[in-house]
A and B are shown apart, each in its own frame.
Chain A
Amino acid sequence: MNRSSNDQHPKQKWEKDVEKTTERFPERKEAFHTSSDIPVDRLYTPEQMDEDYIEEIGFPGQYPYTRGIQPTMYRSRYWTMRQYAGFGSAEETNERFRYLLKQGQTGLSVAFDLPTQIGYDSDDPMADGEVGKVGVAIDSLKDMEQLFDQIPLDQVSTSMTINAPASILLAMYIAVGEKQGVAPEKLTGTIQNDILKEYIARGTYIYPPKPSMRLITDIFGYCQEHLPKFNTISISGYHIREAGSTAVQEVAFTIANGMAYVDAAIEAGLEVDQFAPRLAFFFNAHNQFFEEAAKFRAARRMWAKIMKEHYGAENPKSWKLRFHTQTGGSTLTAQQPDNNIVRVTLQALAAVMGGTQSLHTNSRDEALALPTEDSARIALRTQQIIANESGVADTIDPLAGSYYVESLTDQIEKEANAYLERIKEFGGAVQAVEEGYMQREIHKAAYDAQKRIESKEDIVVGMNEFKLEEEIHADLLRVDEALEQAQIKKTQEVRSSRDQESVDQCLKALREAAKGTENVIPHIVAAVKVYATVGEIANVLREEFGEYTGM
């Protein structure tokens, strides 16, 4: 990077940015001190800043963002504490949401049940046994209205873990907002909307890759115009890691997928600087503390370089990798579940050291069932303790300059770039996914990890070492088996009381749009408003797009 002579020194630029930022978001305290009254500076840097340091590490809020995307980071505001929740019926989940908000949570995150995630209504035979199990069952706008009852959508940001039917749930969110008198442009939140990782790792796909990519770019286009504050995608390494990948693979495959979405949007005629600022990322945090912290720093630097140098994006917002983190579900053990609180603490700390924008901490009982209210509260308290008691948020990127962490950051970037080269040889992430390349790499890593655990080369405390003879699992959250029938009845009542003619018309218009190249989202919004169901809308698209049947 050549800086022209009239450029300010990056340090001066950062100081100016800090001034501007603190006007809008003052720092949490006038001055920060340790327990011994030693002053804590906003940022610590090497005494001599050479070109290398400026180009690779630099200053927070400045390209390539290795030290974070905001000039003051957590000195102004902590990360958003966003616990993923959802189970059973919309009413029950609404209650849990309001409980979490009351406990000091600052954003919502909706878990949907599998039928909703795969576009089946609760009364579809495919939904048998799955209704309300891993999240909340949403069939029609009616359910969505209950889900956000008494939660003003202009005051919370909502993240929705929804992919193949993301457009339908987003449409319902818009409709609920309108009913509350909140205009779409005021809505904030994120839809996951990352279909590629579904083929790779998570499995809740519906349509084949091509029409799925079209749905995604339709959403980009629609939101650019109507929901400018909404994150249109959360490009997710989380599930890739859960499927057994290494940290390097997590970064590499996530960024490769991100590039595929950017390519698709550009091909669909969108301007990179128009949609790229709304792209968000979602990573995992596992136990190897330093590698995890370094992973986030490396990912940020890689994405900035790719957006600026490869895609020629000019808006700095397009360069910034903003991400949510969830602690690693697959690291939790069913044995001695209280030990998981400690794992989660380590992982959460790594995410904070890595500069995450928002964080979900898992509950101790999640290797056994969905979390109970008690467990969910401890998980949230874990974040609150890190934020309020540890002091780690008082200075920016405190691990920077550690020989070990900087070297790990460089090494992860280098190895992830080697993967990106391989994926490029396939012709990009979509092709690599179709040929099963990433799936095979992940499986290999997962199997090796299992072997290491069984041979006790890797120790998992409480599972293959330090075991207890007997274990009793206290209270687990059980989803009421009667819920399925109640939900089916509710949806059938919605069907019999709505204006069927309008539903038919909307679905017909949607079908026509799907056949052609017109943006389908306005038609989906119209359909949900007249109470067409998730399954009905998804089925129209199934008929037009076909279904993906796996490798």
Chain B
Amino acid sequence: MFRALSARLFQGYRTNKFPAAAPALPERFRGRPVIAADAKLDPSCCPTGALGKDCLDMGRCIFCGNCSKCGVVFTKEYRLGAFDRSSLIVKQGEELPEVVVKKDTPMAKLCSKSLKIRQVSAGGCSACELDFNVLGTLAWDMGRLGIQVVASPRHADCLLVTGPVSKNMLTALKKTYDAMSEPKFVIANGACAISGGLFAGSDEICAPLDEIMKVDFYVPGCPPHPAVLLEALVRFKGGSAGAI
């Protein structure tokens, strides 16, 4: 036991300061894109069809940065989560918008102190799951914000779905959703769940998720950085977190 205690002293207190302070993001982090008014966009450079002639759909974007060549600038703005699908469209010439905080949503009224999440992995590559799991580690410790993962859908307020909903997961996903009691909310996490992402052209998937069930919140990314997801979860339940 003494060894465990001395180990604890050696390792120290390591939970980061987010959401009170801005998160530490890598130098090359690619956050919310902005498109200069005079940029000539080339949609053919985009692997997921996110880039249009005069806009970029963050719901399909994998933030690969290919379109940096034709004038899209990826900023450090990591607060990407949105309450509706249309807010994920970045229009040419538009400046970075104000981050939307809503305190009067049903989610905010019910879950502001405690949010229980049942996650379902519905296809995909597992990176979204891995970076969601990171929020449970002591570096991010989402439990201190009242956010917790639960095993049973019966205990969950919210279903967090990752992956493009493969045909073989459709039944299991629907059954999990049906097993949740009302009121219940759904978060589409990652490009796959929002739009099919890289797999949008496959005949083996059912995404977008919002055509299968009502989605209350969207978190873009491939996968969303833990800071992106945690900020989104805080805002989902009516709070606001770490400005840049």
Our verdict on whether A and B bind, yes or no, reads no
B interface residues with partner A (beta carbon < 8 Å) = none
